[in-house]
Amino acid sequence: MLSEKHNEKEAEGAVRELTYAEALREAMRQAMEKDDSIFLIGEDIGVYGGAFGVTAGLVDEFGPERVRDTPISEAAIAGSCIGAALTGMRPIGEIQFMDFITLSMEQLVLQAAKLRFMFGGKAKVPFVLRTPGGSGTGAAAQHSETLENWFVHVPGLKVVMPSNAYDAKGLLLSAIYDDNPVIFVEHKLLYKTKAHVPEEMYQIPLSQSHVAREGRDLTVVATSVMVQRALQAAEQLSEEGIEIEVVDPRTLSPLDDRPIIESVIKTGKALVVHEAPTTGGYGGEIVARIAASEAFDYLDAPIRRLAGLDIPIPYNRTLEYHTVPQVENIVEEARKLVRGEY
Amino acid sequence: MSEAIQSITPDRARELLAAIGHEKAREMLETMYLIRAFEEKAEELYALGKVHGTMHLSIGQEGSATGASNAVRSGYDYLLNHHRGHGHCIAWGGNVNFMMAEFLGKETGYCRGRGGSMHIADVERNNLGANGIVGGGIPIAVGVGLSIHLRQTDQVCLVIFGDGAANEGAFHESLNMASIWNLPIIYMCENNQYAMSMSVKRAFKVEHISERACAYNIPGVTVDGNDLLAVYEAISEAAERARAGEGPTLVESVTYRWRGHSKSDRQLYRTREEVKEWQARDPIPRYANRLIEAGIITQEDVQAIHDEAYQRIEDAVEFAENSPEPDVSTIMDGVYA
Ligand SMILES: Cc1ncc(C[n+]2csc(CCOP(=O)(O)OP(=O)(O)O)c2C)c(N)n1
Ligand SMILES: [Mg+2]
């Protein structure tokens, strides 16, 4: 239904574009207008508007009670979300950079993720913790982490990673209304990217992988900013006659692996691309899902991973660039796979 | 409860300067100018697009960094500091060439271009590094203090952090352990009134952060951080206690950052008037005047010291700009020993 509406609007030439940051802000604003139990909590989210401006202006609309600045206390930010969620509120916490979520780990991993289960399903912990990950800003090793897989490994947490502005809004709304703790991983390099974002409060269901581009030659499973890079690579490859299919899981956990498996059955080849270091990264999970499925019989090349080097993110711009997959690396890797060089 | 903010009378200043000695007294002014010149240049290079990433300037806080480092034996004792750390590194005797090269991401930089502005360390001089994580150095100080204790040296560990860091849980864990084990640690909190946009008035219920010392039964003092000698005196006393086996001290150095938190700060949380008020308490002329009053230097000397510092930074930029970038083939270096 929604996509029909898009087409109508596009036909009228009235496509509304928002940046990823604006889309997130709009989701929060619309949800807060409708539901008093939703509030924001985090460092510098009020008058400063958040380190990346995502919450800019919201304190003027909703006041400091509902857009609550905290001292620098990440464990207590996570704990505040958990406690409030247990008692009828729907908090949206912000951890300023994903790196600092390490200071919230106990609360998230040992409390938020397990309380419902340990209480025999008698409580729920509905909150969202938004946080920007990723490198590419020259912020060096302690401000560039991509840690989503730490959370993927924890049953009870949901992990969402939107790759564009349209998904950002729809996924955030679903995350807000979900009755579970959701780690919502944004990307610094995506904040200023634009896409068509409808004004209405649409939801993109969690745990629904999405085929972002169709193609017959190779399945590329990518997350977050790597979806954008894979789509750019696809354009270049298409000029060479290579058509890649790009699948964006969007929700990393719980994962909807059907579209991935079906895609690999179709193409017979798979490449997984993510920013986090290769070893122990999300790519391992995707590779395992493919290898363990009926798609295995259809594979005519090894499943490959293209991910961050196993090093902390360097400060130097050139080194930083070479640490994580870029468009040209995806193009090259895809070519090799399609040409049977592996 | 701690007393009000401690400052230094003119008589006490003369006494302290006499004890410090003219040469070192003058060097401390040179250091403050060198810090100011370094940071003004950093800001300029940033504006010119020569730097990728972010930086945190300590302009206005030079007295705190310089007074503290000079009150311990930099290079022998240990330093841990934080993201707003250019001044601490320079005051600790850091080489501005290597710092500038690091800032520009060059192979000749202190961290071979891998760390950048926020992570400058001078390991040979026992400067164990600035830190990108607020409060990140505070627990490490416990380990350094414990090591000093176990190795039975007479070193001390100076750990510098901001007001914001005092609200991380790690602050409590660290001060408690240091106090129960009487570790030789000087906790210096540079209270520059804000943690990004969060003012200390909103972030603390106590008036002075040093009041928290009572929770650990250790001394806590609040000093005028824009008065180099006040900081010098407080840190000297804390160092003496540490060396005498009497354990840690919490020193709150009250100061102000003149610039925004980092590159992208519209500063909507404070007024221009407030900034101007604090700029009138510039630690550099305040200290220079003390030296002039004590007959240690003349007004002309001040100008010469100023000019020399700014020239020194021009040379550092030249060194950095002429230095090579790290070679991409070395990208995997340094992850493991
Ligand atoms: C654990 C952690 N949380 C948040 C940040 C983001 N951050 C960097 S500096 C800063 C403010 C620090 O304030 P303060 O400790 O007072 O030092 P100042 O910047 O004022 O020198 C914040 C919130 C961080 N780097 N690390
Ligand atoms: Mg501060």
The CA-based angle A308-A281-A216, given to 5 degrees, is 80
Determine if ligand 1 sits within 6 Å of the CB of residue B143.
no
CA B215 vs CA A174, B170, B212, B226, B310: distances in Å: 45, 14, 6, 27, 44
Q: How many CA atoms lie within 13 A of A71 on its CB side?
A: 19
In B5-112, where do the E strands start and end? 78-80
Instruction: Determine the pLDDT at residue B264.
Output: 83
Q: What distance in Å separates the CA atoms of residue A292 and residue A284, rounded to the nearest whole number?
A: 12
Confidence class of residue A12 from pLDDT cuts 50, 70 and 90? low
Homologous superfamily, domain B10-322: Thiamin diphosphate (ThDP)-binding fold, Pyr/PP domains (3.40.50.970)
Domain extents in chain B: 10-322
- Write down the pTM of the prediction: 0.96
| Of the candidates A100, A174, A10, the residue with the CA atom closest to the CA atom of residue B134 | A100
Query: What's the CA angle centered on A337, arms A334 and A339, to 5 degrees?
Result: 105
Domains A14-196 and A210-338 belong to one CATH topology: yes
A77 is written with which tokens?
């930010």
pLDDT at A3: 45
CATH architecture of the domain with residue range A210-338: 3-Layer(aba) Sandwich (3.40)
| Every domain of chain A and the residues it spans | 14-196, 210-338
- Integer Cα distance of B145 and B150 in angstroms: 9
Query: Over the Cα atoms of chain A, what is R_g?
Result: 20
Q: Phi and psi of A138, rounded to 5°?
A: 70, 20
Interface test with A, best of B119, B120, B134 (most A CBs within 10 A): B134
First to last CA, chain A: 43
Structure tokens at B98: 């290597």
Q: Which two tokens stand for residue B148?
A: 């000093």
Q: Which ipTM did the prediction report?
A: 0.96
Q: Which atom of ligand 1 is nearest to the CA of B261?
A: 19
CB atoms within 10 A of CB A110: 11
- Chain B's closest residue to A45, CA to CA, is B197
Alpha-carbon distance of A168 to A3, in angstroms, equals 16
3-state DSSP call for residue A48? coil
Chain B residues with CB under 8 Å of A70 CB are 198
Distance A116 CA to ligand 1 centre (A): 33
pLDDT at B7: 84
- How long a stretch of residues is chain B? 337
Task: Name the class of domain A14-196.
Answer: alpha beta
- Which tokens is A206 given? 């969690």
Q: Which two tokens stand for residue A30?
A: 């619309």
B290 lines ligand 1 (CB under 6 A): no
- Residue B247: which region, alpha, beta or left (left: phi > 0; alpha: psi -120 to 50)? left
Q: Decide if pLDDT at A1 tops 60.
A: no
Chain-centroid distance of CA B167 in Å reads: 19
The position carrying tokens 């900081």 is B231
Q: For residue B144, give both structure tokens.
A: 């350094």
A57 — contact with chain B (CB < 8 Å)?
A: no
Tell me the C-alpha distance between A43 and A37, whole Å. 20
Chain B residue with CA closest to A321: the answer is B328
Q: Which two tokens stand for residue B241?
A: 């206690």
- Predicted confidence at residue B6, as pLDDT, reads 82
The single residue of A6, A143, A187, A196 carrying the catalytic annotation is A143
- Quote the percentage of chain A above a pLDDT of 90: 96
Three-class DSSP category at A158: strand
φ/ψ bin of B126: left (φ > 0), alpha (ψ from -120 to 50), beta (otherwise): left
Q: How many angstroms separate the CA atoms of A276 and A146, rounded?
A: 5
The pLDDT value recorded for residue B59 is: 98
B84 close to ligand 1 (CB < 6 Angstrom): yes
Helices (H), B56-129: 62-71, 86-91, 96-103
Could you write out the DSSP letters of every residue in B261-279?
Answer: SSTT---TTS-HHHHHHHH
Choose among A231, A129, A212: nearest CA to A166.
A212
Q: How far apart are CA B317 and CA A249, in angstroms?
A: 47
- Ligand 1, atom nearest to B163 Cα: 16
- pLDDT reading at A9 higher than 70: no
Spatial CB neighbours of B200, under 8 Å, sequence gap ≥ 6: B163, B191, B193, B194, B209
Q: How far is Cα A227 from Cα A223, in angstroms, rounded to an integer?
A: 5
Candidate from A73, A100, A316 with C-beta closest to B113:
A316
pLDDT digits (tens, 9 = 90+) for A88-132: 999 999 999 999 999 999 999 999 999 999 999 999 999 999 999
Query: What dihedral do alpha carbons A271, A209, A224, A80 form, nearest 10°?
Result: -140
| A270 and A298 Cβ atoms separated by less than 8 Å | no
DSSP structure string for A30-71? HHHHH-TTEEEEETT-STT--TTSTTTTHHHHHHHHHEEE--
Which residue from B105, B134, B203 is facing A317, i.e. has the nearest CB?
B105
Whether residue B68 contacts residue B188, with contact meaning beta carbons closer than 8 Å, is answered with yes
Mean pLDDT of the residues in chain A: 96
- For residue B2, give the nearest of B252, B173, B256 by alpha carbon: B252
**pLDDT given at position A10:** 52
Kind and range of the H or E run holding B309: helix B299-321
pLDDT for residue A202 is more than 50: yes
pLDDT along chain B (337 residues), means of 10: 73 96 98 98 96 94 98 98 98 98 98 97 97 98 98 98 98 98 98 98 98 98 98 98 98 98 93 98 98 97 98 98 98 97
CA dihedral A96, A97, A100, A106 (to 10 degrees): 80
Nearest Cα neighbor of B137 from B179, B184, B171, B178 is B171
* pLDDT band, very low/low/confident/very high, at A11 (cuts 50, 70, 90): low
